[in-house]
Amino acid sequence: MTPATLPTIAITLGEPAGIGVDIVLMLARENFPLRLVVIGSIDLLRQRATLLGIKVELIAVTLQDIIPPHCPNQLFVINIPLNAEVTPGVLNPANAEYVLNTLRAAAIVAVHGLFDAIVTAPVHKGIINAAGVSFSGHTEFFAALTNTPQVVMMLATGKLSVALVTTHVPLAQVSALITPARLESVIRVLYTDLQRKFALNAPRILVCGLNPHAGENGHLGREEMEVIIPVLEKCRAEGMVLIGPVAADTAFTDASLTGIDAVLAMYHDQGLIPLKQRGFGEAVNITLGLPIIRTSVDHGTALELAGTGQAKPNSLRAALHSAATMVLRQQQKETRHAMDTM
């Protein structure tokens, strides 16, 4: 890989009182074959580095600057000022707008092609909402900023990837949200991005049922018969490889997952409990359907660990690696396309 082809990745610091700042500083000590720019408060980074005893050179940059390849113990920073002082572990709604400003800046630079991908450290949804801003998560926020009608949350760890039809909604609302239009749209985004971002020509997707035993022919619920099965049959008629609906209590066994590229779960806990049981702290959150590449960690702000030095950067490291890999795949695909049209 030449310096000219190195992925350029922007990383947001997330909730300033949480561990996002810590794990970014911890990763700064490592060597990555990419260009890395942090979007957040340079003062916050400096204060937390001092608290953690991490020696790092912090260099303020602008969008006009040429970013060199990452060097250990060095971070380039697009500075977004805090709204209020930060105490590790103590939430402050005054900094909610700061958090949103970092996300807006990251989306802008990615959409305009100034960066190849963005990686996000965890935010605290509750404190943003407490500040008077309706916020259900990164996924929905980036969808709105990029005018994307349908995005899909997918988490991946090891050989297991799990996408969700519904995300951060109360369980009582899930059934009503699983409409034919929504399910078909989610399947199309998942299938297309598995091809486009993961270089899978004919991805195999295992689809969970909503009800116990996948409805058991309507005796335990009719969503499978009335919504899920008709949508799967329609998509299969177009050549998609879709297995299911499968009872969720057996969908995540090794036998069921053999030869499967991704699992589609109907709701948050149905899919993410088994995934996090397999690889919590090592998984990557990937937003599919966006016009940009965006990955994140699989954990929250862990306020109790902020500033203690006990946080682990494993998931953030995996998110960086995943983003860089997707960038390189797209570069290779574009190169092949250019050569084919010559």
Which residues are annotated binding-site positions for a divalent metal cation? 168, 213, 268
Q: Which two tokens stand for residue 35?
A: 């260009």
CA Rg value for the chain: 21
Q: Which residues are known binding-site members for substrate?
A: 138-139, 276, 285, 294
Distances 332 to 21, 192, 205, 267, 327 between C-alpha atoms, Å: 33, 17, 24, 34, 9
Q: Give helix then strand counts, H and E, for the chain.
A: 13, 12
The C-alpha angle with vertex 302 and arms to 299 and 273, in degrees rounded to 5, equals 35
Task: Decide the pairing of beta strands 293-297 and 284-288.
Answer: antiparallel
Q: Which two tokens stand for residue 33?
A: 């074959």
Q: Which residues are known binding-site members?
A: 138-139, 168, 213, 268, 276, 285, 294
End-to-end CA distance of the chain: 23
Contact by Cβ (8 Å): 125, 133: no
The residue type found at 176 is: A
Contact by Cβ (8 Å): 215, 224: yes
- Number of C-beta neighbours around residue 124 at 10 A: 23
> Measured between alpha carbons, how far is 89 from 98 in angstroms, rounded to an integer?
17
Strand partners, 287: 153
